[in-house]
Chains A and B, each alone.
Chain A
């Protein structure tokens, strides 16, 4: 992909929007995995009281960046439906090799550390600027397997998308219904922009790139700037040799169910109980995604209440179910194959039932699935599990009861 290329057809534009959706989604999972891995309690060892404050701040920043990636995904979906497309929520399972996307950086699930942070910096690296000398040395520190990185970036992808919105005639391009657009009245997403014309499309794209890469004036306040600052702080802290170890020893690229044709080069969790929790995580995650994508896909006229309900449930699920399950998995052993390692959520997207266009039927399907998952959660609650996992299971049952 070259920055000088321009997009001139709806088909190409939709293809790139799907690619952007896939990337934003995958990157958000990668950030969440790193945030889940950060230690919470001093009793976990490896940090002093003061260092715990720092770790909490890093966790807060990474969760915040991940939440903005979710906003970016939502904006991409609004851009997609505005020009007649369907929100795309699929993505290949982890890990995705460096050749899969033109940004030439692998997308993986790995715990917080210099290596994951360097990868994050590459995702968010501003287009059209060469890395400054000190950044180059930060990225090239020991443990990095890449020699000379070509900085294709997510920003470059959005540059191409923007060219499509400029090049294709406005009347011809915006064939989606304005009432199909998701607004802040329907979903509690701060800064969500409904896309109805070229101006609002450009505004949405600018919001994505400014939050990610930043602009020349406020680069330190972008995702890019935040990750650079965290990496510097981390290297500075560990260089003092105090034994500071902020992350849990979680495995890389876990999967709950390799035996069922998961694909990719993931590492199947070897501990049966952790595998069970990871499978529940995947199922909840998959249902949550489908409900959110359904809400973005269909016209809100006549089904506004259902859209609101779906959106509020999905947003409830993220912090109350997925977050504690994800953090809890990182306190569970990964199994004999991975000595000393703890498990983690695989964010697995396997074959699943698509939700139908009929609002009533979609709700029925979701209600039934939620109840099935609540039964699994109830079974897990009978076992000895880390407190965050139990808390996620309890919340899932509560949400299912009122759905």
Chain B
């Protein structure tokens, strides 16, 4: 029976667009279905942000129709059904729109480490080691060539010398661009702490690899230091999923926006060919394909599977929801570091990501940041204080403000979250404007990760001490923010009884249904997830092309 398309990809975010691009390039007839609206021009989005009275992640992307018909936790604070405080909350959010949440990501692209793929066999067995912290069915060496390919596709700037061999994780190719140059603040901090240690781990400041152009690359300009990467790069120097949406459509893929997928049908033989979707007007439509790829992030993907009753023989769909526990800490440096310039973060410390300690607590990354105390309202908070309380005006105000804000420093951490099957996405009884269930979220940070958070906080305190900072604020114990790294919920594994997809991102239960995106991560380590998402999507695209019989140019 002739199908409408060879492949239907659900979701026009980075993972879906990259998959669609590769398959369209290989000659497949590809359709991308996107729930969100078509993007206005970048300048219009910058304008929306500039004129918004309250600046939020969603300010550039407000669109009444799509915010109603394809709501997201970015557009609606009540989109998630969660137990009310004081119960712990899941704090990370996402966009539903063409290009996906990479519109407002920071752009950091560290790789996972060799050990991150082998947590159970490397560190497992002890009383404090979470049982769900499993090995991946793929190794670092399996993924490494695809990391290189993802770095090339996205355009990653980084220092090969600094990153090659980190924790036994070699790089087979240099980065496509030289690193984003460390900020003045980074180099000053490195001068104060490099070579010193904290509880056995040595401080060493490294430039953070970023999908942010350090030079002209892929027809996009180099970073000009506009400093508002989050929520939107005004010039397109930072990679976002729209880059590959454009490449996919240029390669022949079709893109249908404002199409909210509601259900997938299973045939008698277990295969999935039929995709039902609703338009914003409420019309129900259907499209068929040889292969279906779900690329709807780690909350909409399990939601769709649960709505369809598919891929869940293991009862793992929606389980093991993860994030990174993020924490910002603040201090005043003993000299001027001149923050508020360049990308919000250009360097970090990787030393605490791996070690024998992971038998009992999580690893973490440290970021040095270039945004002063802007997360606490700087410089506006200071202006209000100086004017109203200290009665400063004119040149006195200017000088006082300059003296203060140029010394503001934020250090932050991002702590590995262990999988826990009780942390999960389910279907809420509450529905959205199209009558579709909203996600019901349950999330409590595992003790293993809270132990890591406590250690990270101590480490940040030690860094502030070494730097000689004053007015240090390490925040409350166990307090954390969302990192925006929504992961887990359709875990990858070799055993169909305990996992949703296999090593190729193919669902165990349906041979032509694939899932790309961070939902397939069985464990997460502490790096930002996007590069790993891209690497796995490119790898899956190759397998899908092989399964469909399309010949691809060898990419690796």
Contacts and interface: CB of A to CB of B under 8 A. Distances in A.
Nearest to A57: B235
Interface in A37-93: 49-50, 53-54, 56-57, 59-61, 63-64, 68
Contacts of B178: 190-191
Interface stretch (B37-45, B71-79, B324-332, B443-451): B37-45
A190 B179 contact: yes
B219 interface: yes
Contacts of A222: 216
Interface core residue of B41, B214, B216, B222 (most chain A CB under 10 Å): B216
A60 B181 contact: no
A50 B41 contact: yes
B233 to A, nearest CB: 11
Nearest to B341: A319
A223 B216 CA distance: 8
Contact of A221 (B179, B216, B224, B234): B216
A211 B181 contact: no
A222 B47 CA distance: 30
Contact of B181 (A49, A64, A188, A220): A188
Contacts of B221: 57, 60-61, 64, 226
A54 B219 CA distance: 15
Contacts of A57: 221, 224, 234-235
Interface string B221-262: 110100000000011000000000000000000000000000
A50 B216 contact: no
B224 A225 contact: no
B46 interface: yes
Contacts of B202: none
B432 interface: no
B338 to A, nearest CB: 10
B424 to A, nearest CB: 43
B510 to A, nearest CB: 40
Contact of B234 (A56, A64, A211): A56
A53 B178 CA distance: 26
B210 to A, nearest CB: 14
B219 A53 contact: no
Contact of B215 (A50, A53, A211): A211
Contact of A49 (B47, B179, B215, B217): B47
Interface string B504-541: 00000000000000000000000000000000000000
Interface of B: 41-44, 46-47, 178-179, 181, 214-219, 221-222, 224, 234-235
Contacts of B181: 188, 190
Contact of A50 (B44, B217, B235): B44
Contacts of B179: 190
Given A190-B179, A226-B221, 14 more contacts: A53-B42, A53-B46, A53-B234, A56-B234, A57-B224, A59-B224, A60-B235, A61-B224, A64-B222, A211-B215, A221-B219, A223-B216, A225-B216, A226-B216
A112 to B, nearest CB: 16
Contact of B235 (A49, A56, A221): A56
Contacts of B219: 220-221, 229
Interface string A82-113: 00000000000000000000000000000000
A54 B43 contact: yes
Interface of chain B, helix or strand or loop or mixed? Answer: loop
Contacts of B215: 64, 68, 211, 221
Contacts of A68: 215
A56 B215 CA distance: 16
Contacts of B41: 50
A191 B214 CA distance: 11
B384 to A, nearest CB: 24
Interface in A245-284: none
Contacts of A188: 181
Given A221-B217, A221-B218, A50 B47 contact: yes
A220 B235 CA distance: 17
Nearest to A222: B216
Nearest to A65: B216
Contacts of B47: 49-50
Contacts of B218: 221
B217 to A, nearest CB: 5
B224 A60 contact: yes
Nearest to B47: A49
A134 B235 CA distance: 26
Contact of A63 (B44, B46, B224, B235): B224
The 9 closest A-B pairs by CB, nearest first: A60-B224, A221-B216, A53-B43, A50-B43, A57-B235, A64-B222, A61-B221, A190-B181, A191-B178
B274 to A, nearest CB: 41
6 contacts: A49-B43, A53-B42, A53-B46, A57-B224, A61-B224, A220-B219
Interface in A323-349: none
A369 to B, nearest CB: 25
B448 to A, nearest CB: 40
Nearest to B50: A49
A60 B64 CA distance: 33
A61 B217 CA distance: 12
Given A188-B181, A221-B215, A226-B216, A60 B222 contact: yes
A68 B43 CA distance: 27
Nearest to A59: B224
Contacts of B224: 56-57, 59-61, 63-64
A59 to B, nearest CB: 8
A275 to B, nearest CB: 28
Contacts of A64: 215-216, 221-222, 224
Nearest to A226: B216
A68 B177 CA distance: 14
Nearest to B219: A220
A229 B219 CA distance: 9
B358 to A, nearest CB: 34
Contacts of A211: 215
Contacts of A54: 43
Interface in A105-137: none
Contacts of A226: 216, 221
A64 B235 CA distance: 13
A222 B221 CA distance: 10
Nearest to B42: A53
A59 B222 CA distance: 11
Contacts of B214: 190
A54 B217 CA distance: 18
A54 B234 CA distance: 10
A225 B222 CA distance: 13
A220 B220 CA distance: 9
Contacts of B216: 61, 64, 220-223, 225-226
A329 B181 CA distance: 30
A68 B214 CA distance: 11
B385 to A, nearest CB: 24
Nearest to A229: B219
Contacts of A56: 224, 234-235
